[in-house]
Chains A and B, each alone.
Chain A
Amino acid sequence: MRMSKIIIINFTFVIFALLHVFLQTEITKLGYEIKRNEDKFQRLVDNNNILKYNIYALESPHSLDKYVSLNNSKLKILKPVQVFGLYPKAESKYVAENKSNNLLSNNAVLVTLRKIFASKQAEAKTIK
């Protein structure tokens, strides 16, 4: 009877000890996991900040102005009497008034084909 009591106490003690050790191990494991996730989160926050910075830099008036001026570089104020053509997007090229400087307009076959098959054509005439 006395022996069995000792065994039960010992057994309970061992179970609690093992449970304690198990808990400590789990806590440590979770600690590592938390740290890993924190690092991952921080990395994402950092990348997000860099992306935001890039957006702000692209949205800055300086970049926007540069972008607009680059894209508007083909625009030109019309001369008093000037003909211009509207071509399909893929082959859209500005046809300059001076034909000798324009390779596209030099090609007679291409010009004729365009005249026939071009999707849109318009003529603008400004009267003084």
Chain B
Amino acid sequence: MPLKRSLLRFYVISFFFIVSLFVFIGKLIFIQLFHSQYLTELACKQHNIYLELPPQRGIIYDRKLKPLVVNTRSYSLFAVPNEIKNKNQVANILSDSADLDSDFILKRLSSSKHFAWLKRKLSDRTAKEIRDMNMDGLFFMKESRRSYPNGTLATHVLGFTNIDNIGLEGIELYCNRYLEGKPGYAFFVRDARQNVLRLENSDKLPVDGYDVVLTIDQVIQYIAENALDEAFKKNHAKGACIVVMDPRTGEILALANRPTYDSNSPQSFSAEERRNRAICDFFEPGSVFKIVTASAALEENVFKEEDRIFCENGTYRVANHILHDHEPLGWLTFSEAIEKSSNIGVTKIAQKLGLEKVYKYAKLFGFGSLTGIRLSGEVNGLLKPLSAYSKTSIGALPIGQEVGVTALQLACAISVVANGGLYYRPYIINKIKDKYDETIEETKPECVRRVITAETSQRLSKILERVVESGTGRLAKSKEYKFAGKTGTAQKVDPRGGYSHSAFFASFIGFAPAENPRLAIVVVFDEPHPYYYGGVVSAPVFKEVAEKSLKYIESEEKMNNLSQPPKTK
């Protein structure tokens, strides 16, 4: 009896196990046949991740390969709202340490999403402070940040990027397609603790952005900015800009504007401060435009330097427009009319020459068209079609009215006089290269056309030398070098009609040294006061920049000569 019972128990248990076994086998078959795909996908989702490998954005160098923009790492703070218990407390703490509005943080933390950015690209100190607090639900993501080690230096040239490192202004925008690079991808495996490890080497590596080498010289840029800044503050101007160019090649050595901004924090500055005035703003140039009329007169052999012109003692009627000189002037030679910047004298030169000729040379000097500098936002100024000019225009265009020019166009024009009559296309991007120093693209000096003959350029240079020696540009005179230039004081157009009597553009264009020009410089001030003459406000800036830059160039050349091994016979 007991045996039967135990046998029965054995059968029952065996039956139970066998049934269980079949159930398990059935389930296994079911999983393998019908659920395998779904489960494999689920596992893959949990374990495998493809991460985007961001490329390094290219570096921007000056002509001596000094970095003007570099990449540094920064940390961005994000939250997983579900993991945060006391949201109010976290919001209060973060509002203090991360300088964020607590309502903004609370709004972000209250969202139903699993991921919420709190602040991108924090400073190292702030990131460390928050990390040390060890709060649940707060995480950091490493990101690359564009850093400008020189602060505000050449900021209008370099521009800036947005939070995702996409160029928004300047070279950062213009060369964005070269600088940005291409992202790569890598396959990673994630364990149960969310640790990421790489088991396979099936990566598509990121392609780093190309580096951009500019024609800007960091030291000349600094000299120019320093001088401009001082004068800008001293003269209480609304704006100012300076362009330093190599007249022999068209390379831009320095370009600066005031007011300015810091590319490290562009959001803290207004659009007005961020505008690159040297290429985006055009203005009536006034007397500096007289170099065009003078060039045309000399080139067309209408006048010689010693030809005499009567300047009507300061008042002269052209059609229904009365012209004035800054002081009553009588008989002057052609040279003296330019030296003393006589509006009447130059108008009389233009009358003999004809407006068509002045217009033709204005076009040849590059006014009214884009220079093609390869910087975003360049405007072509204003030079109306010849038919749009009226009878009074003969008393306006030759003296720099009824025409709009940019500071860069003026730099190109004065370079023509400096280099023997050739118009060189200005350029600021010297080279684009990869990380292995292989050149991808190189800009070579491009002579676009001959504007005037070398002889005319030499004759005009002599006149411009005298402008600095004894004319309106005396404040640009140097004891060490000989400079040549032209001053300009232009009344601004009054929005109510006519010209303003209180708002002026003060400018000076010139080259240095006069006998063998290495630098062409344009200095423009917008509404300086109390002094508003180009010869008073802009000429000293020209002098300072030209003197210091030439000394720097000479010392650099001496250093280079010393570092070169002596030539063996």
Q: Is there a chain B Cβ closer than 8 Å to A80's Cβ?
A: no
**A35 contacts chain B at the CB level, 8 A cutoff:** yes
What B residues does A31 contact at CB under 8 A? 189, 197-199
In the complex, the answer to whether B197 meets A32 with C-beta atoms within 8 Å is: yes
A107 contacts chain B at the CB level, 8 A cutoff: no
* Contact flag A32-B218 (CB < 8 Å), given A56-B66, A62-B151: no
Q: How far is the CB of B177 from the nearest CB of chain A, in Å?
A: 24
Interface-located stretch among B67-75, B342-350, B363-371: B67-75
**Which residue of B is nearest A56, CB measured?**
B149
Interchain CA distance A99-B511 in the complex, whole Å: 49
Contact B197 A57 (CB under 8 A): no
A60 touches B72 (CB 8 A): no
Q: How far is the CA of A65 from the CA of B70 in the complex (A)?
A: 22
Whether A49 lies near B150 (C-beta < 8 A) is no
Expressed in whole angstroms, the Cα–Cα distance for A31 and B186 within the complex equals: 14
B222 at the interface (CB under 8 A from A): yes
Pair A61/B70 contact, Cβ less than 8 Å: no
Assuming the A-B contacts A56-B149, A61-B153, are A49 and B71 also in contact, with contact meaning beta carbons closer than 8 angstroms in the complex? yes
Give chain A residues whose Cβ lies under 8 Å from the Cβ of B150.
56-57, 60-62
Residues of the B chain whose Cβ atoms lie less than 8 Å from the Cβ of A61? 150, 153, 218-219, 221-222
Q: Is B66 a contact of A62 with CB atoms below 8 Å?
A: no
Contacts of A46 in B (CB 8 A): 72-73, 142
Across the two chains, which residue of chain A brings its CB closest to B189? A31
- Residues of A within 8 Å of B67, CB to CB, are 56
For B45-80 the 0/1 string (1 means CB < 8 A from A) is 000000000000000000000110011110000000
A60 touches B151 (CB 8 A): yes
Interface presence of A118 (CB below 8 A) = no
Closest Cβ of chain A to B308, distance in Å, is: 48
- Chain A: which residue is nearest B188 at the CB level? A35
Q: Is B458 at the interface (CB under 8 A from chain A)?
A: no
Q: A87 to B67: give the CA distance in the assembly, Å.
A: 42
A27 to B222, CA, bound (A): 56
Which interface residue of A28, A50, A52, A56 has the most chain B CB atoms within 10 A? A56
Asked whether any CB of chain B lies closer than 8 Å to the CB of A59, the reply is yes
Q: What total of chain B residues lie within 8 Å of the partner, measured CB to CB? A: 24
Closest approach, in angstroms, between the C-beta of B320 and any C-beta of chain A?
53
> In the assembly, what is the distance between CA of A59 and CA of B66, in Å?
9
Distance in Å: Cβ of A95 to nearest Cβ of chain B = 32
Q: Are A50 and B189 in contact (CB under 8 A)?
A: no
B197 and A60 within 8 A (CB): no
Find chain A residues with CB under 8 A from B70 CB.
49, 52-53, 56
Judge whether A28 and B199 touch: CB under 8 Å.
yes
Asked whether any CB of chain A lies closer than 8 Å to the CB of B134, the reply is no
A83 at the interface (CB under 8 A from B): no
CA A111 – CA B47 in complex, angstroms?
Answer: 82
Q: Assuming the A-B contacts A32-B195, A35-B197, A49-B73, are A60 and B149 also in contact, with contact meaning beta carbons closer than 8 angstroms in the complex?
A: yes
Determine chain B's interface SS by DSSP, over half rule.
mixed
Residue of A nearest to B152 (CB): A62
Q: Which residues of chain A from 25 to 68 have any CB-CB distance to chain B below 8 Å in the complex?
A: 27-28, 31-32, 34-35, 38, 46, 49-50, 52-53, 56-57, 59-62, 65
Residues A57 and B149 in contact, CB atoms below 8 Å apart: yes
CB distance from B129 to the nearest CB of A (A): 17
Closest to B150 in A: A60
Query: What 0/1 readout, one digit per residue, does chain B (179-202) give for beta carbons within 8 Å of chain A?
Result: 000000000010000011111000
Please, how many angstroms separate the alpha-carbon atoms of A46 and B218 in the complex? 25
Provide the residues of chain A in CB contact with B198, threshold 8 Å: 31, 34-35, 38
- Please state if B197 and A50 are interface contacts (CB–CB under 8 Å): no
Name the residue on A nearest B68 (C-beta): A56
Least CB distance, B253 to chain A, in whole angstroms? 14
Q: Mark B231-262, 1 if CB is under 8 A from A, else 0.
A: 00000000000000000000000000000000
Residue numbers in A under 8 Å from B147 (CB-CB): 53
Q: How far is the CB of B50 from chain A (nearest CB, A)?
A: 16
CA distance A79 to B198 in the complex (A): 74
The residue in chain B whose Cβ has the minimal distance to the Cβ of A35 is B197
Q: Do residues A35 and B196 form an inter-chain contact, with CB atoms below 8 A?
A: yes
Residues of A near B196 (CB, < 8 A) are 35
For B71, the chain A residues whose CB sits under 8 A away are 49
Compute how far the CA of A39 lies from the CA of B124 in the bound complex, rounded to whole angstroms: 18
Nearest chain-B residue to A64 (Cβ)?
B222
- A59: chain B residues within 8 A (beta carbon): 66, 149
Q: Closest approach, in angstroms, between the C-beta of A100 and any C-beta of chain B?
A: 35
Query: Which residues of B are found within 8 Å of A28, using beta-carbon distances?
Result: 197, 199
Residues of B within 8 A of A56 (CB): 66-67, 70, 149-150
Shortest CB distance A6–B (Å): 23
Q: How far is the CA of A39 from the CA of B566 in the complex (A)?
A: 49
The answer for the CA separation of A27 and B199 in the assembled complex, in Å, is 7
Q: How far is the CA of A46 from the CA of B199 in the complex (A)?
A: 24
Q: List chain B residues, Cβ under 8 A from A57.
A: 149-151
When C-beta atoms are compared, the residue in chain B nearest to A59 turns out to be B66
* B-chain residues with CB within 8 Å of residue A53 when the two chains form the complex: 70, 72, 147, 149
Within 8 A of A (CB), among B263-312: none
Residues of the A chain whose Cβ atoms lie less than 8 Å from the Cβ of B66: 56, 59
Chain B residues with Cβ under 8 A from A34's Cβ?
A: 197-198
Per the 8 Å Cβ criterion, residues 112-128 of B in contact with A are 124
Q: Which residues of the other chain, A, contact B222 by a CB distance below 8 angstroms?
A: 61-62, 65
Docked Cα-Cα span, A60 to B124, in Å, equals 22
For residue A52, which residue of chain B has the nearest CB? Answer: B70
Would you give the shortest CB distance from B537 to chain A, in whole angstroms?
24
Q: What CA separation (Å) do A61 and B222 show in the bound complex?
A: 6
Given contacts A56-B66, A57-B149, 19 further A-B contacts (CB under 8 A): A31-B189, A32-B197, A35-B197, A46-B72, A46-B142, A49-B71, A49-B73, A50-B72, A50-B73, A50-B124, A53-B72, A56-B67, A56-B70, A59-B66, A60-B150, A61-B150, A61-B221, A62-B151, A62-B153
Q: Which 6 A-B pairs have the closest CB atoms?
A: A61-B222, A56-B149, A31-B197, A57-B149, A46-B73, A60-B150
Give 5 A-B contacts (CB < 8 Å), ordered by A residue: A28-B199, A32-B195, A34-B197, A56-B150, A60-B153
